[in-house]
Structure formats: structure tokens, C-alpha cells
């Protein structure tokens, strides 16, 4: 079997699921956010988001912390170091899989524009 095809079966399924990937990417981009913001930004239903957050927290990819802003309680989600690593590993795997030549050592480079003379 082709090496690239084999790589597909080694993808982290916890990250590969679109809703969870969306959560991880949002948290990575924003730093930290609460449930309500994630629900609005990711266009999740309440139940859907709860389920996926529980799975990500169980895997140690996301941490959920109760904190206070003044006297107002907030429950904040953020990416853990393990989550960051999982996302990075996943993106590297995807780059390898989706490359036309399948060469993992050299990620695709932008070719210089040909002169139009």
C-alpha cells in the first residue's frame, strides 16, 4: 500500500472529526473562550458542543477552568500543550497525505512566477 494512504489510517481520529477540529482551531486562534462564544463562533448546538468538548477534555487536548472576571464567574476553555501538539502532528500528517508527490520531508513550496516576456 502507498505510504501516503497508510498515513491516513494513522490520523488522530479525535482531531480529524470536523466539529472537534473546528473547536481546536478556534481555541488555538483565540487563546481562550467560554462555551457561549464557542457555540456562536463555531455554529454548534449546545449538546453537540458539550459532547465534543467532553471528548477533547477527556483526551487532555482541552482544559476547562472556572475563573472570575471581577465577581462574575466564567468557565473558560483553552488548548493544552497536548492539544497543541496533536493539532501540529495532525496538520503535518495532512500535509504529507495531500502533497502531490507524497514527499514528507519537503512541504510544497510556492513556485516562482514565470516571466511573461
Partner 1 sequence: MEDYPAPENSPGRRAAANWFIDGLPEIVTGLEFAMLGGMASWLLHQPLRFERLLAAGVLFLLILLVNGGGRNITEFFKARVTYPRTGYVQPPMHAEESQRSEPVVSLAHLPNENVTDFRRRTVTVFFFGWILPGAINPPWGLPVAMSATALALYLLNRHSERPYRWWYTFLLPAAGLLWMSLDSRQGEGDLARQFRVFVIAGLWLSAQGAWTLYGYLRRNPRPPAEEGLHA
**What is the number of other CB atoms lying within 10 angstroms of the CB of residue 77?**
21
10 binds partner 1 (CB under 8 A): no
Q: Supply 88's cell numbers.
A: 501540529
Nearer to partner 1, 6 or 48 (CB): 48
C-alpha distances (whole Å) from 19 to each of 15, 66, 89 are: 9, 23, 18
Provide the mask over 75-104, with x wherever binding to partner 1 is found by CB under 8 A and - wherever it is not: xxx------x--xx-xxx-xx---------
53 binds partner 1 (CB under 8 A): yes
How far apart are alpha carbons 25 and 86 in whole angstroms?
11
Q: Which residues bind partner 1 (CB under 8 A)?
A: 25-26, 28-41, 46, 49-50, 53-54, 57, 64, 69-70, 72-77, 84, 87-88, 90-92, 94-95, 107
Amino acid at each position: 500500500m502507498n505510504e501516503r494512504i497508510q498515513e491516513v489510517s494513522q490520523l488522530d481520529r479525535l482531531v480529524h472529526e470536523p466539529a472537534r477540529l473546528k473547536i481546536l482551531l478556534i481555541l488555538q486562534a483565540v487563546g481562550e473562550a467560554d462555551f457561549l462564544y464557542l457555540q456562536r463562533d463555531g455554529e454548534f448546538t449546545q449538546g453537540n458542543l458539550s459532547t465534543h468538548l467532553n471528548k477533547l477534555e477527556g483526551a487532555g487536548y482541552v482544559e476547562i477552568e472556572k475563573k472570575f472576571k471581577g465577581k462574575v464567574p466564567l468557565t473558560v476553555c483553552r488548548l493544552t500543550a497536548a492539544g497543541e501538539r496533536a493539532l501540529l502532528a495532525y496538520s503535518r500528517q495532512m500535509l504529507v497525505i495531500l502533497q502531490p508527490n507524497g514527499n514528507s520531508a519537503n512541504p510544497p513550496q510556492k513556485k516562482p512566477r514565470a516571466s511573461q516576456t
